[in-house]
Amino acid sequence: MAFIKPTQPKGEPEVDLGRLPRHVAIIMDGNGRWAKRRGLPRTAGHAAGAETFRTIATYCKDIGLEYLTVYAFSTENWKRPLEEVSAIVGLLKKYLLESIEKMERDRIRLRFFGDLTPLPQELKELCGRTNEISKGYDGMQVNVCFNYGGRDEIIQAARAFAAACAAGERRPEELTEEMFGGYLYSAGIPDPDLVIRPSGEVRISNFLLWQSAYAEFYFTDVLWPDFSPEELRRALAAYQGRDRRYGGV
Ligand code: FPP
């Protein structure tokens, strides 16, 4: 059995690589505060956050995680100043352009959760292309939630099911949890086992509401740009110490 030793002071928990969660989801929070503490504009916090995302995604791939889902932009984030919204959209584009080669090399699958229609045409095409290229790959799957909201996702799914019923393709009484899951952005992907929220906030903020029904949650005060592989190992070790009962005893 393989273990990784966190580079932590003695006594820190170890992570059993044979018992990793299949799917880890992260709310990348605290970029603004990280920047403020350094007297930098919030956009600098997002740039640092995008680097952290790259580091953490690479680490997850290295340890053999199957699915990583990150919350990059919520349906509520449009309320932010235009400059900040543009910066986040720009970072997504930069990240995709810089990652295509690596994704090919590591056979990373990329999927987007959210409504991409309001994005600039060029970025939409880039998202579509990276998604298409990676469909045939078999490496770690990264899901980027962009213009994503958990309630919005459920509403979209309910509408799609209702439309299928109206078209005579489905009947309301045949709807099961499993079938409903097939209408969500996450269709075909196992539910997250572990949801991590850094930055000291202890709430779900409309993230994977349906999918996280039985997830374990891990909260830390560390701000996202400071979130390191060591922090992730702490979260994984905490997860491995949990007793998941799914409503049983
Ligand atoms: C939350 O921190 C963070 C966001 C709303 C944006 C996250 C975006 C990135 C990490 C970069 C782009 C993404 C990719 C996939 C490359 P906050 O701004 O709410 O921080 P605060 O709570 O401290 O103000």
Residues with CB under 6 A from ligand 1: 28-33, 46, 49-50, 53, 70, 72-73, 77, 88, 91-92, 95, 144, 199
Give the per-residue pLDDT at 8. Answer: 46
**Tally of CB atoms within 10 A around 100:** 17
Residues 47-86 pLDDT 10s:
999 999 999 999 999 999 999 999 999 999 999 999 999 9
Atom from ligand 1 closest to the CA of residue 35:
23
User: CA angle, 25 as apex, 133 and 107 as ends, to 5°?
Assistant: 25
Residues 80-139 pLDDT 10s:
999 999 999 999 999 999 988 888 899 999 999 999 999 999 999 999 999 998 988 999
List active site positions: 29, 77
Q: Write the CA distances from 42 to 35, 59, 86, integer angstroms.
A: 5, 26, 12
Domains, the chain, ranges and CATH?
A: 20-149+191-239 (3.40.1180.10)
Quote the ligand 1 centre to 18 CA distance (angstroms).
31
pTM of the shown model: 0.93
Which residue's CA is the closest to the ligand 1 atom numbered 18? Answer: 32
Mean pLDDT score of the chain: 94
Give the per-residue pLDDT at 70. Answer: 98
Which residue's CA is the closest to the ligand 1 atom numbered 24? Answer: 32
Q: For a substitution probing ligand 1, which of 26, 27, 28, 205 has the most ligand atoms within 8 Å of its CB?
A: 28
